Structure 1
Amino acid sequence: MNKYFEINRIKEGLRTGKLVVNGLELRTPLLVHSADVIQYLRPGQVRTTNTRALYYDPVILAEKLRKKDLVDLPDLHRVLGWQGIFFTTSGAAEIGKLAKPRGYKTNGVNFRLPNQGQLISLSPKKAIQLQEQSGADITEQLYRDVNYYAPVDDLAAAVELTGHWYATNQDTLFPITGGGLKKLHRQSIDSVTGQRPFGYFVTQTDQVDSLAEIKRNLAAIIKLLPFESLRVTKTTANFEQLITVIRSGIDVVYSDVAVHEAVMGNVLVNKGKRLDFTRESFSDDWETIDSECQCPVCTSHYSRAYLHYLARINSPQYTSLILEHNLFWLNQFVANLSSKIN
């Protein structure tokens, strides 16, 4: 697979770069939205928001499609006609909820999808193959997921098993585990021997309960990583957390912020401020969401009063329209952060 990453500039921790995958050039820091956006928008609509990359979890996808096995997953590029890039998780976080402790073996993990009953034996190699089969352009090595605040012995066991599963493959992201413990971070990174992976996925960020702890933990991990390697992590559906990890020096962030806020009925404007158009004050407001926004919704001159009407009648079109705006707005916000150091 044709892909490479290079760093352009760095300032106060935040860095910009270029990620090229199969001829498609993506600027970093890159916000990778959840593939859940396809539930509300057509792929072509998603692209008009300047979204070029989506991520998905193969285990959650199998559950949604009611598949009995991960081998039954379709190629999402073909099914959706998606012309951008697909990142995928290994499914480790979801598997951690489905597998029993004794399901983890030196050669992989055994688990069952909900309500199916069929035992799935997933090796690290097979996990990557299934990600590629389902359309992933950038894959992630399987790892044992435990909570960030788990006992030290559990964190250490997860690091040891994840390191044991490492197989030299320059096309994958290697998962860094170990909670907030520097010793375990170093052990996790040192388990990569021989040829380095394409990049590193910092796990557990979405489990941390404070922005200060996220900053501390990422700073400690980043000091141990090869400078030139791609850095990836996943956040919760929280705008402030998203910005914190980007400013910490992460290159690619998986985020559900856009779709989460849209489903909650919130529209993002002005440094993350949220507007709720169900409020009666918008019933006679004929302005667009944001007069300076160039998203498909604002440039089509949909008024706040119209969006208020859609919100009050619970129209599904309301979620679709504000999701288009949120995607565009977030992509532009991240682009503006990058422009400050270019």
Structure 2
Amino acid sequence: MFFYDLQARGRATSTCRSYGMDLLRWFRFLWAIEVPWQRATRNEARDFCRWMLIAGKPTRSHWRQPDRPGGGTSTGEAYAPSVRAHCETVLRTFYDFHLEAGTGPIINPFPLDRQRRGGRAHAHHNPMDSYRNERAGLYRPRVPTRVPRSVPDAEFNEIFAKLSSNRDRALVAFYVSTGARASELLSVTQGGVDPGRQLITVIRKGSRELQELPASSDAFVWLRLYQAEMDGLIPTGRRQPLWWTLRRPVRPLTYHAVHRMFERAGQAAGSAATLHALRHTAAYRMAEDPDLPLTDVQLVLGHALLTTTQIYLTPGKEEVIRRVLAHHAEQVRQAAERKIPPPAPGYRPETLDVLFGRQAP
């Protein structure tokens, strides 16, 4: 019933899958301690949140190597705060739904924070300020605010040189020039490519609307080379997917395959950059262009709020380090070139040197 409700409200398939994975993690925990989900209390919810923080993520066997051991051991790496926060929100929503339907426990095991349950949200809100999310869960962890990480040009060139096919080069070139999300670029169809206008049409992740995005000319060159290689090997048609696997039999390219492709190229180049970092790189490049208004960057990136786009005005870590080191080097150079003025009449120079520590007595 819960997933029927999500589907009826127009939630994307990826959203339903994400909710399902969080619920599966919770149900496996309850099965291990032999507690029915209808009888779960706040104690089980607390222990589940502690387990995600302490136990670590489990290992899973690869689908190509099903006999490889995995699935029962822990990697020792704790779940990220964003994952734990998302899981807590999903479970609280799940039990709220069953509370209204009368099919779950009487009390939600994942309640809101005690400090907010007794009062009204935004009770003392300043009309001049934006609204904050004051409906935080009791077991919701604090998610640190991270500055988006872009890929430096030298590092990007090394990764690009390690790509093994024209399809991969075309994908990376489109990612870094359009700023599209990974799933959005994979939604492009063969009829959604307009080389004459240098535009591609993607399906936005949240709104599911069609939007044209401008791309660089290099990306279309790599795309044409990829299309020439796959001519006669993939289905053709305006509604057919643009990106296909290189391995036979050909299948539409998936997010996990693209993510693994870029991960292999990054490992070969000695880089820890992720696929989503290409979107941040494109955003930083566009935001640093003085001739490109920030509202245009917002439209290209598909942000609902301009404040989300403004985070790309924050200088990157590498750029800050470079400028600060240059500042220190300039201070050293100026100190070396600084001339000592001659002493005033009546003062002995050697006495002033001893007084100001320029020479030992």
User: What is the TM-score when the length of structure 1 is the normalising length?
Assistant: 0.29
Q: Which is helix-richer, 1 or 2?
A: 2
If asked which structure has higher relative contact order (CA below 8 Å, sep 6+), I would say 1
- Based on CA coordinates, which of the two structures has the bigger radius of gyration? 2
